[in-house]
Amino acid sequence: MTSVNDAAALDDHDDKPAATGFDGATLQIGSEANSVPEVAFSNTRDSEPVGKSNSNNSAQGGESLSRNRPGSMMGRTSVRSTSSRTSVRPGVIQDVSARSYYCYKTSHFERAVDECKSIVKEDLDGAFKSAWLLTEIDHWDFEREKIILLCEQSMLVAKYNFINESLYEYKRIFLHIINSIGIGDFSYPNSSLMPERRHGGIQVRWDQGTQLSFGQRWNPWCTDIPWITLAHHPLIYNRKENETVTYNVDEFFESLVAATSKVFTAKRPNDTLRVIEGPITIESYASPASLVFNQSGIGYFRDRNGVSF
């Protein structure tokens, strides 16, 4: 078990970002109770913003960024996302077999969430709000299946074995220590030999602008990296899967921004939460190990033709 706390201080475009600067948008959420968030879209080729809006539902002027929600968190039911900001281009990712995933078997996810609720401490985390099953991409570019619990004061990231139905480990991240939340397409540095990522996701950071130490950067098992990168669970790409809320990172992003901005109002009234829309760089240059690991789906608990791991 690991915990992140105050003492730690704490689709259409898949091209790699140009090296000349950031091409995206920044949404700053103020901490005033009655304030309306402003969205200012900036184009690095021009000195003036290309658009500005005070609406939570839309923002004009972004070339490829949409602020439409893919579904509703009300009641936890929705149909396939048609306006996801992090979904792949049509036809790029093939349909996946849902039956091979243990989490998809009857009531497995519900039982997993019930067990993971045991780690929620109301005096620390506040009331439990909702749960998602997403993909975590670590700092060495390895993908793993994780259950995300969102509470009033924190988010908990749990590694759960769906085969023997047991909780392996978890990490607690308090919402008030978060300094930025990014959403957009994943990309690698221009000098990277890694193939293009075919989807996007979100990145939650509480690093306060500091750089990783040598030990953190070159230790693939390091557990105190001051950010987390999340993407859709592969089950969202199953053609027959209509319940996409559970596996949809966009839905989690919307709920996380709302919960964190509420915490900022109470605990950090003089600070601002930065919500950034634009490319998210994964600093991997040449990693055959992660390619084999990810393409084989080793980070997910599956039935592999009679062999389960």
Mean pLDDT for 258-282 is: 95
Question: Would you say residue 39 has pLDDT above 60?
Answer: no
Taking a C-beta distance cutoff of 8 angstroms, is the pair 11, 93 a contact?
A: no
Residue 269 lies in domain: 2-10+21-68+78-303
Question: Would you say residue 227 has pLDDT above 90?
Answer: yes
Domains in the chain, number: 1
Return the top range by mean pLDDT from 111-125, 210-224, 240-254: 111-125
Rounded Cα distance, 186 and 87, in Å:
11
Does residue 44 form part of some domain?
Answer: yes
Rounded Cα distance, 95 and 237, in Å:
6
Taking a C-beta distance cutoff of 8 angstroms, is the pair 165, 114 a contact?
A: no
Return the top range by mean pLDDT from 27-41, 50-64, 75-89: 75-89
Question: Would you say residue 196 has pLDDT above 90?
Answer: no
Find, among 58, 66, 116, 125, the residue nearest to 263 by Cα.
125
Does residue 15 form part of some domain?
Answer: no
238 vs 188 pLDDT, higher one: 188
Does residue 16 form part of some domain?
Answer: no
Rounded Cα distance, 63 and 198, in Å:
19
Does residue 308 form part of some domain?
Answer: no
Q: Which two tokens stand for residue 101?
A: 């995933």
Mean pLDDT for 66-84 is: 36
Tens digits of per-residue pLDDT, 160-174? 999 999 999 999 999
Does residue 100 form part of some domain?
Answer: yes
Question: Would you say residue 60 has pLDDT above 90?
Answer: no
**Alpha-carbon distance values, 52 to 61, 153, 265, 267 (Å):** 7, 31, 23, 28
Does residue 309 form part of some domain?
Answer: no
Question: Would you say residue 260 has pLDDT above 50?
Answer: yes
Rounded Cα distance, 303 and 157, in Å:
23
- Widest CA span of the chain, in angstroms? 59
Worst-scoring range by mean pLDDT, 19-28, 99-108, 110-119?
19-28
Taking a C-beta distance cutoff of 8 angstroms, is the pair 148, 246 a contact?
A: no
Rounded Cα distance, 133 and 249, in Å:
9
Q: Give the model's confidence band at 15: pLDDT under 50 very low, under 70 low, under 90 confident, else very high.
A: very low
Taking a C-beta distance cutoff of 8 angstroms, is the pair 49, 209 a contact?
A: no
220 vs 33 pLDDT, higher one: 220
Question: Would you say residue 75 has pLDDT above 60?
Answer: no
Question: Would you say residue 69 has pLDDT above 70?
Answer: no
The pLDDT value recorded for residue 103 is 93
* DSSP assignments along the chain, one per residue: -EEE-GGGT-----PPPPTT---SEEEEE---TT---EEEEE-TTSSSEEEEE--SS--TT-SS-----SS--GGG-----SS-SSPPPTTTSPP--GGGBGGGSTTHHHHHHHHHGGG--HHHH-SEEEEEEEEEE-TT--EEEEEEEEESSEEEEEEEETTTTEEEEEEEEEGGG--EEEEEEEE--TT--SPPPS-EEEEEE--TTPPPPHHHHT-TT----SEEEEE--GGGG-TT----TTT-HHHHHHHHHHHHHHHHHHH-TT--EEEEES-EE---S--HHHHHHHHTTTTS-BEETTEE-
| Polymer length of the chain | 309
Q: Give the model's confidence band at 218: pLDDT under 50 very low, under 70 low, under 90 confident, else very high.
A: confident
Q: Give the model's confidence band at 87: pLDDT under 50 very low, under 70 low, under 90 confident, else very high.
A: low
Alpha carbons within 13 A on the beta-carbon side of 248: 26
Does residue 286 form part of some domain?
Answer: yes
CATH label of the domain that carries residue 243:
2.30.29.30
Taking a C-beta distance cutoff of 8 angstroms, is the pair 94, 239 a contact?
A: no
Q: Which two tokens stand for residue 175?
A: 């919402």
Mean pLDDT for 69-78 is: 33
The pLDDT value recorded for residue 207 is 92
Does residue 126 form part of some domain?
Answer: yes
